Structure formats: C-alpha cells, structure tokens
Amino acid sequence: MQANPLWPVEKRFPRLKNDTRKEVLVVGGGMAGISSALRLKRAGFDVALIERDEVGGPATGASSGVLYYGSGTNLVPAYDLFGEEKANKLWKETAGVIEEIVKTSRDGAIDCGTRTCGSIMVAKNETEMEEIDAEFGALKKLGLPGRLLSGSDVRAYFPLTGFKGGLAYDAVGQVHPARFASGMARTEDLEIYEQTPLIEWKEEDGGVQVKTPGGVIRASDLVLATNTEPCFGMENHFELESSVILASEPTRRVRDVFPEEKILWSMEEKYDMLYPRGDRLILELYALGEEDNKLAYYFPGVEFKIAEQWGEAWSKPADWIPIVGKVSKHVTSAIGMGDQGIIMSWLSGSKIPMIINGGSDWFTEMASPSRFGNNQGAGLTN
C-alpha cells in the first residue's frame, strides 16, 4: 500500500497473467525502477516493469519529494566523502536533475504538486552559522545559486522561531514522487505489472528467467530497483534508514508559520524538515520520540493537530552513493538511493541503458558495485 495517505496515486496497472519475453525486465515500481524503465524505453529497449504491490508504494510513496543538490550531505562535507572534483560534479549534475524533473512534470502536465519553492537551511547558533558560511562559499565557487540570510532575513520566512541566520537555496523544488512516477509511467506508456512480485529467478544462457505468480518472464537483462531487499550481497554495504512525516489537520494558521511557501530544514546531523502543503503544516523527522518538543519549538503558539502520520525505510550505503551497476552478467542493481533518493533515483535510472550497453562514466564508476570488492553472485532475494 502507498505510504502517504494525502496524495494517493490513482493510475493503476494490471497484474501479469501470462508468460512473456522481454529484452529488459525491471523489478520495483519506486522512483528508481520507473526512472530506469523509462530511460530504457526511450533508448529503444523492449522493457517491462514488475512491482510487488503498487507503483509509488514504499519509500517513493512516503517521500516528501524535496529536490536538492547532491546525495544527502552538504557540499563541504561531500569534499571529504568524494573528493572536491567528484563532489562538484555531483552537485552540478544534480542541479540539472532538479530542473529536469520540474520541467518534465510540467511538460507532461503531471498532477504531482510540482513547485520550485526554494528552501532555507537555518542555523540555531554560531557554530551552525560558520558551517553555513562555508557552504555558501563552496556553492558560490561552483557557480550554484545561494543567498546568505541574517537572523532578521530568516524571520521574514519563519516569523515564529528565532534562528541565527540561514542559507537560501532558491533552486530547490518539490514534487510528490509517487504521483510523478506513476504520471511518467502513464505519459510514456510503460509496460507495467502491479501485484506481480518476483518470487524466484535463475540466470540461464543469454539471460534470466523470472517467476511471478502470473507467469514466467524471460529477459536478456534484469534490473533490480528493490530498495531495501537483499541484492547479491550488496545488502552488506547498505544500512536501512527511515523518516516519518507528521501532517497537521487543515489549519488557517499556515500563513502565520510560512508566509511564503519555503521549505525549512535544520542543520542537525539528522535534519528536521518543515513545509506547508496546501492548508496543512508538515514536519518530517528521522524518528519519533521528541515530536512534542519539536512541534512546540517549530510551531510555538500554533496548534498542530496531527491528522496523518506515516514513514518508510530506504537503503543507504555508508559512502552516501547508490549502488548502480552490474552485479552479475545479466543483472544490474539500482539500489541504495538514500535520503536524497528522488534525485539519486532519477539520475541513476538515466545511466541504466548505458550500463546495459557496457558503457560507463564518472557517476557509474563512483556508484559501481565493484567498489565493495567482488562479491557478485551472492544471491538475489531471501
């Protein structure tokens, strides 16, 4: 079932009811699978996608869909993680991905709440302000837009809580990813089967054979975009993380908290994210436990009556880069998308045709499963 009760996906797809043969079979109807399947179709492959439950289900369905640069950190810490050159490339490339997702949803008239509302990272104290200064400097050097804000500037966007200052990212966008993914599947006429889990598979001469309850699919290549599921031993290299979203009842106080439609995020290691959606206030946390304190801190004097609450898990490698590449002769992984997983999924999916054709580039070299050593063939699912 889709995790997010507020923005349901209406388009549904049939179950597989017969045996079939395809050039490529994609497993998993989240953002990673849909992105892979549609790029494969555009590249001329005969491709089908099977989904255990419904397109835009688990992580993609739950997601806030905020489109930000990179793969989950700020740019300055990314220099330590990937080196300056690769981090800069990733930031530049993902800046283009944000524009592409926003444009694609608008051009295709996909009803997924697309907005380029911008976001503001807020600092509570001097130490966080120093990090913001450094981040602003790094973005500027790279030519990406950012605006340094004083405490009083930030109050124009978030009048209720006193922050020391902030950094405005005007290019940040937001879509509802499950509606975007299913909308893309519809406009590009992808061949999709829902309620069709992969239950068994085997590699055979020239390809793979996949068993589902409705029929057997033979394909030359298999793409696994199954997020949290075991995948050829790659699960030893990702952790499961999760977020939970609290949505208020509709309230007239939305404009008191957010005079403009900006996304606010805090600078803690496990960030909090706040934004308005229509007449509701939204708070996203990594985990429940301190939500009463946080609601009182971020929304002082405003009654935040929780109307809906949902959460989900995603897979994330320790090096903050997804696992995208061949895990065996006929099997390619597109997993480990992390907390910036909408952008990462869209980007990773765009590389799948090239990977299947035997090519590579700086991103696929960075994201290759081979970075963990050769544990290919360790098994597909439990």
Ligand X SMILES: Cc1cc2nc3c(=O)[nH]c(=O)nc-3n(C[C@H](O)[C@H](O)[C@H](O)COP(=O)(O)OP(=O)(O)OC[C@H]3O[C@@H](n4cnc5c(N)ncnc54)[C@H](O)[C@@H]3O)c2cc1C
By the criterion CB under 6 A, which residues form the site for ligand X? 27-33, 50-53, 57-60, 62-66, 177, 197-198, 225-227, 229, 242-243, 245, 284, 311-312, 314, 337-343, 345, 381
Residue 270 C-beta: closest distance to ligand X, Å: 12
Q: Choose between 233 and 311: whose C-beta lies nearer to ligand X.
A: 311
Please tell me the distance from the alpha carbon of residue 306 to that of residue 177, in angstroms, as a whole number. 22
Q: Choose between 57 and 276: whose C-beta lies nearer to ligand X.
A: 57
Q: Choose between 221 and 284: whose C-beta lies nearer to ligand X.
A: 284
Q: Choose between 53 and 203: whose C-beta lies nearer to ligand X.
A: 53
Q: Choose between 341 and 353: whose C-beta lies nearer to ligand X.
A: 341
Residue 212 C-beta: closest distance to ligand X, Å: 8
Contact between residue 145 and residue 139 where contact means Cβ atoms under 8 Å apart: yes
Q: Choose between 50 and 139: whose C-beta lies nearer to ligand X.
A: 50
Residue 33 C-beta: closest distance to ligand X, Å: 6
Contacts 24+ apart (CB under 8 A), 354-358: 355/324, 355/325, 355/326, 356/24, 356/40, 356/45, 356/221, 356/223, 356/332
Please tell me the distance from the alpha carbon of residue 322 to that of residue 334, in angstroms, as a whole number. 7
One DSSP character per residue, 316-336 reads EETTS--EEEEEETTEEEEE-
Q: Choose between 33 and 129: whose C-beta lies nearer to ligand X.
A: 33
Residue 150 C-beta: closest distance to ligand X, Å: 27
With CB atoms as reference, the residue minimizing the distance to ligand X is: 341
Helix, strand, coil in percent for the chain, rounding step 5 = 35, 25, 40
Please tell me the distance from the alpha carbon of residue 52 to that of residue 196, in angstroms, as a whole number. 5
Instruction: Give the tokens for residue 17.
Output: 């009811």
Residue 68 C-beta: closest distance to ligand X, Å: 7
Dihedral angle over CA of 308, 286, 129, 80, nearest 10: -140
Closest CA to 28 of 6, 61, 69: 61
Residue 308 C-beta: closest distance to ligand X, Å: 12
Residue 209 C-beta: closest distance to ligand X, Å: 15
Please tell me the distance from the alpha carbon of residue 241 to that of residue 223, in angstroms, as a whole number. 23
